[in-house]
Structure 1
Amino acid sequence: MRALVAAGLVLAVASCSSPEAGGNAPSTAAPPQGLKVEEVAAGFSHGWDVGFLPDGSMLVTERPGRIKLVRNGQVTPVEVDLPNLQVRGEGGLMGLVVHPDGQRFTTCFNTTSDVRLVTYRLQGNRATKVKDLLTGLPSNSSGRHSGCRPTLAPDGTMFVATGDIARASNPQDRTSLGGKVLRIDPETGEGAKDNPFATSGNANERRIYSYGHRNVQGVVFRPGSGQAFSSEHGPDVDDEVNLLKAGANYGWDPSKGGTQGGYNENVPMTDLQRFPDAVPAVWSSGSTTEAICQAAFWNGKLAITALKGTKLLLFTLDDAGKVQNVSIPDELNDKYGRLRAARTAPDGSLYITTSNGSDDKLLRLTGDA
């Protein structure tokens, strides 16, 4: 296994771990044994997300604006209208989640004016628009920090991870949907009735679950625990895994309270000096740039893909959600390039997409993790 160096901690060749924010380094763990990686399908371009259908087939979104249906290894384009889609930089067609009825799905994409969540109904290989679930998420014309990924929570609400679009005021502005984790009703797009700011007179604030984020790439729920974790891009260091708490501030403020113009990326990811009550990350990459992406729970561990890091990180957590160790399976370490999507299938396997731009793969992981 390749040696990596993170802030204050060497990640060993035999096993790998990274520092916890504000604490001692967790112990190392042996890499998983018997991991099997199967190439299910290929020929994608920046596969962004995966959704599972009742018949065992899958939907895969591609950032350039395509949705593919994968059934028994065969890939079929889905006929779908994505109104005013804008594909530029990091933006385009992004996250997707299949509704419990197995017929509808909601996807998230950049338009010429905003980022929006739109719900469709799938019939065969054709998707018909049902409704704009939520519009008006801020958008950067360059596509920068356009992270947007919906996920259904165990309680039936929809969590939506968003980026701050590199606009300095967004993360701390609770009237903006950028740089947030949202919690909405999947049928109406309105804020869940028991959200932390449910009594606010502002509809956007009523949708907010947590704020002070930079560019959240995904939210995942730990089975049987009530815990939710987010994975988030740091500026060029300090990628974060956060344990989400309702109404909490996660401390990203590149405007320094509006005292600075532009987008100051030299501020801490969690600025405890400005925000003493901000929630520190449960894990940070430190000086290493991993560009972590989507998170999924698999075989009892928190699995997170890395784009620049070109690897899969497997986090062992204690009952409180504290990181005990991090291992990196050799089978995915610098073998497939940039890794983006990570979704756990109904059969317990883990599906991952590569995001290299051409001939990207849909991978299935089974075995001991």
Structure 2
Amino acid sequence: MRALVAAGLVLVVVACSSPEPGGTAPSKAPAPTGLKVEEVAGGFQHAWDIGFLPGGAMLVTERPGTLKLVEGGRVTPVDIDLGDVQARGEGGLMGLVIHPDNQRFTVCHNTSNDVRLVTFRLDGTRATKVKDLLTGMPSNSSGRHSGCRPTLAPDGTMFVATGDIAQARNPQDRTSLGGKVLRIDPETGEGAKDNPFASSGNANERRVYSYGHRNVQGVVFRPDTDQIFSSEHGPSVDDEVNLVRKGANYGWDPSQGGTQSRYDESVPMTDLERFPDAVPAVWSSGSPTEAICQAAFWNGKLAITALKGTKLLLFTLDADGKVQNVSIPDELNDKYGRLRAARTGPDGALYVTSSNGSDDKLLKLTGNA
């Protein structure tokens, strides 16, 4: 692994990474050593997310609408009815989360009408539908900005990272489920009872935890703290890592206060002029963007995959969640193409998937970050 020492990379991480207006940019990290990458399995198509089962088995979603069981390096298709999955552009079968009973799991996928969360029960290599947990999340016919990443919180609620489907009004409209971080009951799909807008008469608004997002690709909880981080795609500039606060606005508004029906991507990712109380990112890519994707905590650092950037970024944070430095492992830098999933396994390893479209890999990363 190496720190960001090449001149161009220093510009990406140092000159283009402002935690907040007037803040200082993260420094270069020392170069850790001794990382090991193991190819656990291959042959996937746009491997999107990973869930861990007892005994070392894993489930892996594939964007075209298939689910694979990985056990002992062997990949077996799961018999599951996902015939309503619409795989278009950035949409299809996306996020996955395993429930605490290790039998049920919830996936997120596009249909012809919406993006939805569906819960299944796994029995061997067969999955049976339990229920539609949440329907009606907006979907673009092209699949653009579909999100969608569910993750269980330490308190047992389910957080869901969603995209704004490139519709201008969605991010600031709290009655829309697009461009949000949602917090729901994993049994009912309703908003958690202590959510910031729990008293709203609108069921969608009751599900909202934070808003003003563009296309959130990951949400993760920092161990032994109450900190929640999201990773988010920017337009032509400014991918963001955000420290997610209850009820907060993150300032993305391509409708310009409702004055534009078109999706105006020239606005700032965090528009502090229009929304002075919006929360600035703790890290921003500047230009060019990396198309950062899923986030996981591993060896005390925040690990985030990059699609366009074809790398893994490791963020060292202080106790308040501010980024101190960023480094990139050589072992995953432009070696496996686009990287999408990132989940920390029960064994303490970081599991990552490539997402190039054919013969994608499930990777296991061990060592000191």
Structure 1 residues 1-369: aligned runs within 5 Å: 3=6, 5=8, 10=11, 18-22=17-21, 23-369=23-369
Distance 1:164 1:10 in 2: 29
Kindly report structure 1 stretches of 4+ aligned residues shifted beyond 6 Å.
none
Q: Is the 8 A contact 1:16 1:326 kept in 2?
A: no
Instruction: From the superposition, tell whether residues 83 and 109 of structure 1 become closer, same or farther in structure 2 (CA, over 3 Å).
Output: same
Please give the secondary structure, in 2, of the residue aligned with 1:55. Answer: helix
Please give the secondary structure, in 1, of the residue aligned with 2:54. Answer: coil
Q: Deviations over 1:333-361 (max 9, x none)?
A: 11110000000001100000000010000
Alpha-carbon RMSD across the aligned residues, in angstroms, is 1.5
Q: Is the 8 A contact 1:83 1:111 kept in 2?
A: no
Please give the secondary structure, in 2, of the residue aligned with 1:304. Answer: strand
Distance 2:101 2:275 in 1: 42
Amino acid at match of 2:11: V
Distance 2:324 2:136 in 1: 39
Amino acid at match of 1:171: P
Q: CA deviation at 1:32?
A: 2.1
Distance 2:12 2:292 in 1: 16
Amino acid at match of 1:95: G
Unaligned runs of 5+ in 1: none
Please give the secondary structure, in 1, of the residue aligned with 2:27. Answer: coil
How many matched pairs? Answer: 365
Please give the secondary structure, in 2, of the residue aligned with 1:107. Answer: strand
Q: CA deviation at 1:188?
A: 0.3
Amino acid at match of 1:349: A
Q: CA deviation at 1:123?
A: 0.3
Normalization by structure 2: what TM-score? 0.97
Distance 2:149 2:12 in 1: 30
Distance 2:351 2:343 in 1: 5
Q: Deviations over 1:91-134 (max 9, x none)?
A: 00000000000000000000000000000000010100000000
Q: CA deviation at 1:202?
A: 0.3
Identity of aligned residues (%): 79
Q: Deviations over 1:275-299 (max 9, x none)?
A: 0000000000011210000000000
